Amino acid sequence: MSLFVTFNKQNIMKKDISPQQLRAARALIDWTREDLANASGITVRTLVRIENAQTTSRQTTFDALVAALETAGIEFIPENGGGAGVRLARRSNSPKGQM
């Protein structure tokens, strides 16, 4: 049984997404820390501390980060035994196999 909660936009919790996933998500959409901080309304300093696992974020801060990344096209992948990760979400109006 996985310790991770099922991922969906309504049910992502802080413990489900690692600092590595946040960094990978930024890299996938070619965002700087400044880009993510601006999009989520948090400070760059706070983001650096979260990404370096120097602090845990408040749920509201975490929710803002996740919302900004999901709006930019990121989909968080649950552990499910295969390893947690991130990917670009498929757009619903795109033909299959295209972004």
Q: What is the pLDDT of residues 28-73, one digit of tens each?
A: 999 999 999 999 999 999 999 999 999 878 899 999 999 999 999 9
Domain ranges of the chain: 15-88
Determine if the pTM surpasses 0.85: no
User: Considering only the top CATH level, what class is 15-88?
Assistant: mainly alpha
With cut-offs at 50, 70 and 90, classify the pLDDT of residue 13: low
Burial state string for 35-61 with b = 16 or more CB within 10 A and e = fewer than 16: ebbebbebeeebbeebbeeeeebeeeb
The winner for highest mean pLDDT among 10-14, 36-40, 84-88 is 36-40
Residue type, 70: E
